[in-house]
Chain A
Amino acid sequence: MSTTEQIQDLTKQEYKWGFITSVEEDRLPPGLNEDVIRAIAQKKGEPEFMLEWRLKAYRYWASLEQKHQEPKWANVQFPPIDYQALSYYSAPKQKKELKSLEEVDPEILATYDKLGIPLHEQKLLAGVAVDAVFDSVSVATTFKAKLAEAGVIFCSFSEAVKNHPDLVKKYLGSVVPYTDNFYAALNSAVFSDGSFVYVPKGVRCPMELSTYFRINAQNTGQFERTLIIADEGAYVSYLEGCTAPVRDENQLHAAVVELIAHDNATIKYSTVQNWYPGDKEGKGGIYNFVTKRGKCLGKNSKISWTQVETGSAITWKYPSCILQGENSVGEFYSVALTNNFQQADTGTKMIHIGKNTKSTIVSKGISAGHGQNTYRGQVKILKGAQGARNYTQCDSLLIGDKCGAHTFPYIEVRNASARMEHEASTSKIGEDQIFYLQQRGISKEEAVSMIINGFCKTVFRELPMEFAVEAQKLLSISLEGSVG
């Protein structure tokens, strides 16, 4: 078999995690209007301030929608979305409050098992608290006691609204206001759940916090909302991983993540995104339109984004940092892979406001099949950002001759003392490299995976150990041998 054939063979691999769980659902009929917003708020038993905020967001979104003001600048193509055809709330039916894992629907637990989500003893021993989001409602949260001991709040967004309304009220929308963009407005109006983290002053969160998201119900847009606050001197590392089952029609996923770091606080946010990418003809797959932003509010604060994006039919995502506090640091490490007919337009924004702020951007784009991969990054040095520094490295790897890599760096400097560095490269994975490894006894698939992992090393290095292993596997599975 020739290389090309072998590769075609391997790229034809079906999405390994495609299955549907049948769980009794509680869902709203399709459509979006003020009544739907009210119904969501009511179902969730939310206080008045939340409903008001949702309604304001909805009205803003509706005004944009009416004028068809969806963002159109991204380098991606898809047919218009009929927002009235989607259902905006879906939750597994629960008869009563759950006290332990044993009470969770065994079907749901079985789904987690298939995904290899370690909700059980082993994971507890491994020291990872998992807040599992099954569709839109958190069904199980573990390790709460140990976190509570440290004073860390880690719960579903709904619980946070109930139990910590002051914190929610203070920070919700403070980094990503509902007027930020079309999808952020939509999310603000209809978000059903998500995660909430608060790490109090001087506390180093005793474990990595981990959340697994999974879209399950058919025809349901998934709207997650995550809010993480690290108070003065606090440290937290948060891991987010996703897989989703096979669907024929496209699904919209519009999440919002807000991070706030106070003086001397550090937030590390890692994502492995593996939503269903569509089949090899480009049918189906998730539209992943996400707004992620962190604010380095305090001096010496640090926010670090690391993402490994292998899934979704379309990715539209720019995890960003607002570097407001003096000496604050923003980092963005990204691996984005597009295979078959996947499209990704992803990158970051680093907004330097405070003095001596520093940012690092490392982006690795991999395109295979007919995949289109765009890096879009903005580095903005404002007037007051004396002594600001940025380093950007942006590398693209092409596999085959039908894919594309695109780079759009925007650099805006308003302070002459700023120091900027930008490096970029585009390369093709070489037959020579593959042959070299094969000549040493390494199989073609392993050779490709090795070369890709080498290419991504500077990003993987930033991931927590176990996540890095998972990410490497994911990359190999998504790509195996797609070399022509």
Chain B
Amino acid sequence: MKKAILWITTGVFFLGFFIPLTTAADFANEITVMTHDSFSISKAVVASFETLHNAKIRFLKAGDAGAALNQAILSKNNPLADLFFGVDNTFMSRALEADIFEAYASPLLSQIRDDLKLDPQNRLLPVDFGDVCLNYDKKWFAQKKLRPPASLEDLVKPAYRGLTVVENPATSSPGLAFLLATVGHFGENGYLDFWKEMRANDVMITSGWKEAYWGCFSAASKGRQPIVVSYASSPPAEVYYAKTPPDQAPTAAVTSDQTCFRQIEFVGIFKGTPKQDLARKLVDFMLDRKFQEDIPLQMFVFPANHSARLPEVFVKYACIADRPVQVPYAEIAAKREQWIEAWTDTVLR
């Protein structure tokens, strides 16, 4: 009997312990944004929206871009949030097929670069973009007196043997973007031949960007490879996050024609949100200059709004590819899996 009382008490204690924590407060003017782990924005920008609309923004981070989107799709009957930020053009088709976003033709779209507007129905609105491309270690190439790579074709030359590290497209989003760059560059019939030569030329493959950049790239760590697949905005990040800002970036990006893949990130309003009005205001806000000008230093990508001014470190050290590789997103949707599968067979097995 005593024992039973003990356990019941424990049980009650245990329940009492977590019930208060289980019910998330839900205010009428609170809006929830679901996003991936890399999202960032400054306090002042958030505060300016909150004061303007007398609202509160709550952010939910849900793992990497893929995991976050999948959770949004899984919970579509009972959404976790009102908006989703961070679907990119490689995952776009998955989001649109799942039909989780509602259309919103924001008036601010007139300020957005036309080449970024991929969804004619405006269920997904472009917020930022970044070019996935080759980065190289400037010091390494200067010391070895070797010409830095200028094109994708350079990578398979004997002089560049064992110099490149690439992320696995099956597990990494820059890896997938780079695979798409090669598909666009060499064509569907030629990209596998390129990768065969890459393999013969001792390309290093890692599972993700962190392992490639921090584990292998000679400019960032004590790694061996002076060429890495990263972003065109990585060099300004190297400058911005240096201990003492150097005059020159230690790395450089290769943005010559047809060598980069442009990753575009979108925002969308979840279908059936009870806070449609506020959600639309937030989308407008995200496309407006204040938010857009905050993007570069927060996430090291470029703003989608063409009137947004870039910070100095971007003006000085970053470049945008004039002609990135074009792969229509419908084609990405149809063939992504097949390309990854073929790549895996060619490079890894």
On whether the two chains bind one another, the answer is: no
| Interface residues, chain A, with chain B CB atoms under 8 Å away | none
